[in-house]
Structure 1
Amino acid sequence: MSTEIKAPSFPESVADGTIATWHKQPGEAVSRDDLLADIETDKVVLEVLAPNDGVLKEIVKGEGDTVLSEEVIAIFEAGAVASAPAAAEAPAAAAPEAAPAATKEAILSPAARKIADEKGLDASQITGTGKGGRVTKEDALKAASAPKAAAPAPAAAAPKVDASAPVFTGERVEKRVPMTRLRKRVAERLVEAQQMTAMLTTFNEVNMKPIMDLRKQYQDLFEKKHGVRMGFMGFFVKACVEALKRQPVVNASIDGDDVVYHGYQDIGVAVSSDRGLVVPVLRDTDTMGLADIENGIREYGLKARDGKLGIEDMTGGTFTISNGGVFGSLLSTPILNMPQSAILGMHKIQERPMAVNGKVEILPMMYLALSYDHRLLDGKEAVTFLVTIKDLLEDPARFLLEV
């Protein structure tokens, strides 16, 4: 019995999607819950699974095609697993050499395909260890490292070449690939933020030694009790929550001619993923402890790595924290995450000579940057907000005393 395979029901904020990858081909037998296709939207990648055991009979929407919510993308025939091997038998006998390469190409995972394209790998030469011989990301990485050992072979096989001849031919290779929907959407929002807001950035610096000493003293005990490492982000989120309470206009947003003040603190934490920058949101952070915050950030990081972040994870948010320091950035000017009115940028901790009570000391310092919408925030509120964060981080006991 034939069944229509439809695109998932998209949330209200997502108009359509694009077929990114078909993991199964027409005539191929599949099992229940096997991954059939990936649909990429502006925010997340949605998976389409097989509803039952059977055969993928026909693909209606190919890779790169735009699909709407619940639009038919393929025809599936349940229980017809016997026909697939029979159909594949004849071409296998006629072209035994071509079949393995075609099969491997068909079951190359998206992550593995990306690595193969970037490294110039021959997909047919990669041995798949995943389910049904599927080439995984790890298989591609392993294959990418293998040529390093085999690289001397071509040179050894061509001893007739003059040693004075140039090694490179001077060929200038270019590769054109379509921009992903997520990257396009991020680009649109960044340009929109710069065009539609009066964005300004103010800077300060914070002595991280008190936080680092606290972590060193309680790290093992904290991890043993809560099962998660004590990071810096938890302290920054707690400091931002307190500063947002003191300067509620920083937690507000502009909606037309109105200013919307939020009586809660939902803080987005910018996370870098293979698909681009995403900003999952920690909800009601004023009710969360350090362990809750660190656990939440860890879970979002794992979801981002595996491409499992849902639209609900990234919807909303009243304030955003971006940590370019993990990549070594010493100073930057973060761009607003509209419609929010401010974003905090963390940076690399760098030891610098500082004047302390008339003496020079070497201290671990971090530059902080607060970009804000000058249409809503004046310099006084923005600078006061940033100074509050600095004061709280340099005296962590104030978190407990709420002073």
Structure 2
Amino acid sequence: MTIEIKAPQFPESVADGSIATWYKQPGEAVKRDELIVDIETDKVVLEVVAPADGALIDIIKGEGDTVLSEEVIATFEKGAGTAAAPDAVAEPAAEPVAGAAVSPAARKLAEESGIDASTIAGSGKNGLVTKEDVVAAVSAKAAESVPEPASQAKAVVADTTPEGRMERRVPMTRMRTRIAERLLNATNETAMLTTFNEVNMQPVMELRNKYKDLFEKTHNGTRLGFMSFFVRAATEALKRYPAVNASIDGNDIVYHGYQDVGVAVSTEKGLVVPVLRDTDFMGLADIEAKIRGYGLKARDGKLTIDEMTGGTFTITNGGVFGSMMSTPILNPPQAAILGMHAIQERPMAVEGEVKILPMMYLALSYDHRLIDGKEAVQFLVAIKELLEDPARMLLDV
């Protein structure tokens, strides 16, 4: 039974995707729910798994090809094994090699390089010609075509070049390209301004040290961190200053009657911002558990588009990497973003005395078209006051 493997249904905010990596090649047997291919969109990497036990018959969309929502990308034979796969693979292969197939990526590279794929010995399963085989053949051909004098000159250049000065050029991923576009749009299309303040973290640190063990025991292993305090403080401040929680849509200002706070998470593939929904109704334990879950998902590339869509305000923490000061860039269409930084002990004047206190710089970048400087400063001061006296968050004062 032949089954069409299709790209997932993309949300309305995602126009298309591209094939990132094929983990299986034609002729290879796969088990049900085994990962076959990754499809990269502007926001996330989507995984496509095998619908049943069987074998991959043909790859229609090779690595790097653009795919639309629910477009057919491969064919799959349910119940088939590796023994039956070579015949099925040989049929769509335009240039078989001694009875073996040529992967779509290898065929495309061979055509672009002007090499006959049938002359390449495949190193893949059942003699499959892979992209690496073509790369090796291109390198060998280039070496053979270079005249002896040029070859000697090349060797001389290599000898005089200091070691460790190699360069590697790779194309941007779709996610990195999209991140770059959004950052440029934020700087070009908003009147972005940043205001700073500093907060004494000693009250929060003392409260955390006093109750962290009891907190973890009471909430089934959920650890008490600093981010939950900042999310709660930001939520209370957003309620007091609705303009910071608003966004611009054309010539309209949209005031949101809820607080959805995005928390920036750094991954190997780029910065992602999963969103905590309705933080006004979340306790510290709920926030910590949700952030930890998002962190694990981001590490494994399991975040969904819905989990990163929306948000009325963003918090980013450069302090985990040691940053002392930064000017975070807006996450449109949001009007503001809060930047946290590293906690450092510094001498501070307190009631006429010098004390050593754990201080953190806070940065609030905001869209000056929507938020006046007075509101931005008052908003940041509100966060400072709530963090320096955490009881105010519980008493709502």
TM-score range, shorter chain: 0.7 to 0.9
Q: Deviations over 1:67-86 (max 9, x none)?
A: 01111111111122152587
What's the offset of the Cα at 1:167? Answer: 12
Q: How far apart, CA to CA, are the structure 1 residues paired with 2:388 and 2:241? A: 19
Contact 1:19 1:61 in 2 (8 A): yes
Give the aligned partner of residue 76 of structure 1.
Answer: 76
CA RMSD of aligned residues (A): 2.3
Question: Which of 271, 291, 294 in structure 2 is aligned with 1:300?
Answer: 294
State the alpha-carbon separation in 1 of the partners of residues 290 and 163 from structure 2.
Answer: 50
Q: Which residue of 2 aligns with 1:210?
A: 203
Aligned equivalents of 2:86 and 2:384: distance in 1? Answer: 70
Counterparts of 1:193 and 1:334 in 2: how far apart (Å)?
11
Shift of 1:53: 1.4
How far residue 302 of structure 1 moved from its aligned partner, in angstroms, is: 0.5
**Structure-2 residue corresponding to 1:132:** none
Mapped contact 2:275–2:309 kept (Cα < 8 A): yes
Give the conservation status (yes or no) of the 8 Å contact 2:60–2:72: yes
The whole-number CA distance in structure 1 between the counterparts of 2:187 and 2:271 is: 17
The residue identity in structure 2 corresponding to 1:362 is: I
Aligned partner of 1:268 among 252, 259, 262? 262
Query: Which runs of 5 or more residues in structure 2 are unaligned?
Result: 90-97, 101-120, 129-158
CA distance in 2, matches of 1:57, 1:102: 15
Q: Indicate the residue corresponding to 2:216 in structure 1.
A: 223
Q: Is the 8 A contact 1:28 1:84 kept in 2?
A: no
- Tell me the distance in 2 between the aligned counterparts of 1:247 and 1:267: 15
> Is structure 2 residue 374 aligned with structure 1 residue 387?
no
Partner of 1:315: 309
Return the match for 2:356 from 362, 367, 383.
362
Mean alpha-carbon deviation: is it higher for 79-88 or for 266-275? 79-88
Residue identity (%):
73
Q: Is the 8 A contact 1:29 1:84 kept in 2?
A: no
Verify: 1:64 aligned to 2:60, yes or no.
Answer: no
1:251 counterpart = 2:250: no
1:175-204 CA-partner distances (Å, limit 9, x unpaired): 111111111101000000000000000000
Give the Cα–Cα distance (whole angstroms) in 2 for the partners of residues 208 and 354 of structure 1: 13
Letter in 2 for 1:40: E
Aligned pairs (5 A) from 1:45-64 = 45-64=45-64
Number of aligned residues:
338
TM-score of the superposition, structure 2-length normalised? 0.81
Q: 2:226 aligns with which of 232, 254, 268?
A: 232
Does 2:185 correspond to 1:192? yes
Q: CA deviation at 1:261?
A: 0.3
- Tell me which stretches of 4 or more aligned residues in structure 1 moved more than 4 Å: 84-88, 166-169
Q: What is the alpha-carbon distance in structure 2 between the residues aligned to residue 167 and residue 212 of structure 1?
A: 56
SS at match of 1:77: strand
Aligned CA distance change for structure 1 residues 32 and 289 (closer, same or farther; 3 Å)? same
Gap regions ≥5 residues in structure 1: 93-97, 107-165
SS at match of 2:212: helix
1:325-371 Cα offsets, whole Å, 9 max, x none, are 00000000000000000000000001111001111111000000000
TM-score between both structures, scaled by the size of structure 1: 0.80
Number of the residue aligned with 2:7:
7
Q: 1:30 to 1:394 in 2, by over 3 A?
A: same
Counterparts in 2 of 1:211 and 1:171: CA distance versus 1, 3 Å: closer
Amino acid at match of 1:275: K
* Corresponding letter in the other structure for 1:380: K
Taking the aligned partners of 1:171 and 1:299, their CA distance within structure 2 comes to: 40
3-state SS, counterpart of residue 180 of structure 2: helix
> Counterpart of 1:208 in structure 2: which amino acid?
M
Q: Match of 1:25, as an amino acid? A: Q
